[in-house]
Structure 1
Amino acid sequence: MPATDSQAPAVPGRRRRSRATAPANTCVAYTRVSTDEQVESGAGLAAQRAAIQAEADRRGWTIVAWHTDEGVSGGVAPARRTGLSAALAAVCNREAAMLVAAKLDRVSRSVADMGRLLVEAERKSWHFVTCDMAVDMSTPQGRAAAHMMVVFSELERGLISQRTRDALAVRKAAGVKLGKPTNVPDDVLRRIISEANSGVSLRKIAEGLMADGIPTGVGKAKWHAPQVQRALDCQRAQELVTV
């Protein structure tokens, strides 16, 4: 009796591959705040969580995990953010079908980084959703709209930075002393400037200085975020940036 399809012998050396899929209507939530004031108050994070939870409730999604980056700039690459890296790993490993954020700029303010994320989402079959956009980023039109929003977000970040530099230059030209004097050594100032420019929060910079036993400008052992900010604002720090 000839074998039926269900009884057909397997072809030697050939294995049937089945691609795992994420559970339907599941998502990983991501939140981010960029300043120490938002980190300490919790207002920014609370608002984002509320927006994501409301959207999930409205659309019947199950949030399987929350990931957060505190005091991290939107210009920092995803691979250098602990929270976003964990969220991306979850959707790429098919632990959830979607990555959800309250706003597009919470995920990235970089056109290049956002482009790579959207390509990765399409390649690995997960969806990227933000509560502030009424578009489906699984479609070409939706991805184009997302790219345009990131373009303007990146422009806004650049304009803010430019206005800050211009204002400081005008004040300096007028003979205004920028910030209070500080006794922090130049090598410590350079470290603070470098870490701040890399997107490290003021609180994290302070913790790192204390961990390395570096005293403050007045000889105290304990650093706080406002002390780090004062060091960044001092005239000597502004001069070191231009060196």
Structure 2
Amino acid sequence: MSRRKKQPGNPGVVVAYLRVSTDEQAASGAGIEAQRAAIEAEVARRGWVLHGTFTDAGMSGKSITGRPALAEALGTVESGEAGTLIVAKLDRLSRSLLDFAALMKRAQDGEWNLVALDLGIDLSTPAGEFLASVMASAAQWERRIISQRTKDALAAKRAAGVRLGRPSSLPSATRDRIVARRADGQTLRQIASDLNADGVDTSQGGRAWHASTVRAVLLIEDPSRQVRSNA
């Protein structure tokens, strides 16, 4: 029997999320209270009902994971007990654009509202939806930029002769044998077959060499080497 989908909560019933890091607590004891005051003023202005307030004190905003109060706040809106999660400032929720975009998608899929007062984000309004789509696009751009930078950095390391990945545990004699056999024109399958016939252990201690295993050794020895998997 299929599980019934939870009914979305009343958007006028809200939960507030507050956060300060350890450094912010040390710098100002009014951080939490300032957030609380801004949220309560907005709740009163809109005629909403504040269902509960969840506070993570001394927590970083670099990631949305590892914050018990945030997890509880999200559970409240996702269960339908409340329909809106509100924060005074976007960075109280997350300092990561990628994490925030994921939360917006989660809110849209779960049919609950997300409000950040400082940026005017409110998924229940056309302007809020537009801003959410812009930020999601920016997050996708950031994700692609990070990926490209990682690829460029790895390529630069390879070009400089830096070996990547875990150090090989394969004996140097076995590596030299593979390189020499390849230089003599043997295919990857032929080299693997010879190694298996001689009972040579792989780097993981097994005795099942494959063309792909041989290819991996050759790439470790020379990252710039062009090795076709079926050659």
TM range (shorter): 0.5 to 0.7
8 Å CA contact 2:13–2:83 kept in 1: the answer is yes
Counterpart in 1 of 2:184? none
What does 1:20-35 align with in structure 2 at a 5 Å threshold?
Answer: 20-35=7-22
Residue 120 of structure 2 corresponds to residue 134 of structure 1: yes
Residue 90 of structure 2 corresponds to residue 104 of structure 1: yes
CA shift in 2, pair 1:19/1:148, >3 Å: closer
8 Å CA contact 1:105–1:150 kept in 2: the answer is no
8 Å CA contact 2:86–2:115 kept in 1: the answer is yes
Instruction: Tell me the TM-score normalized by structure 2.
Output: 0.52
CA distance in 1, matches of 2:137, 2:4: 38
Q: Which has the larger radius of gyration?
A: 2
Superposition deviation, residue 95 in structure 1: 0.8
8 Å CA contact 1:39–1:71 kept in 2: the answer is no
Instruction: Tell me the TM-score normalized by structure 1.
Output: 0.50
Residue 100 of structure 2 corresponds to residue 114 of structure 1: yes
CA distance in 2, matches of 1:16, 1:144: 30
CA distance in 2, matches of 1:111, 1:15: 35
8 Å CA contact 2:51–2:82 kept in 1: the answer is yes
**How many residue pairs end up in the alignment?**
137
Give a deviation string over 1:213-235, Cα, whole Å, max 9, x none: xxxxxxxxxxxxxxxxxxxxxxx
Q: What secondary structure does 1:79 align onto?
A: coil
Residue 133 of structure 2 corresponds to residue 144 of structure 1: yes
8 Å CA contact 1:108–1:150 kept in 2: the answer is no
CA shift in 2, pair 1:146/1:31, >3 Å: farther
Q: Any stretches of 5+ residues in structure 1 without a counterpart?
A: 1-13, 152-243
Residue 71 of structure 2 corresponds to residue 85 of structure 1: yes
Q: What secondary structure does 1:49 align onto?
A: helix
Q: What secondary structure does 2:80 align onto?
A: coil
Give a deviation string over 1:80-134, Cα, whole Å, max 9, x none: 1011111011111011000000000100011221111111101110010011123
Residue 51 of structure 2 corresponds to residue 64 of structure 1: yes
8 Å CA contact 1:33–1:44 kept in 2: the answer is yes
Q: What secondary structure does 1:38 align onto?
A: helix
The percent identity for this pair of structures is 42
CA shift in 2, pair 1:26/1:112, >3 Å: same
CA distance in 1, matches of 2:137, 2:18: 21
CA shift in 2, pair 1:58/1:71, >3 Å: same
CA shift in 2, pair 1:148/1:44, >3 Å: farther
Counterpart in 2 of 1:190? none
Q: What secondary structure does 2:54 align onto?
A: strand
Q: Any stretches of 5+ residues in structure 2 without a counterpart?
A: 141-231
- Which amino acid counterpart does residue 141 of structure 1 have in structure 2? F
CA distance in 2, matches of 1:122, 1:143: 10
CA shift in 2, pair 1:88/1:39, >3 Å: farther
Superposition deviation, residue 56 in structure 1: 0.3
Counterpart in 2 of 1:211? none
Counterpart in 1 of 2:31? 44
- Which amino acid counterpart does residue 72 of structure 2 have in structure 1? A
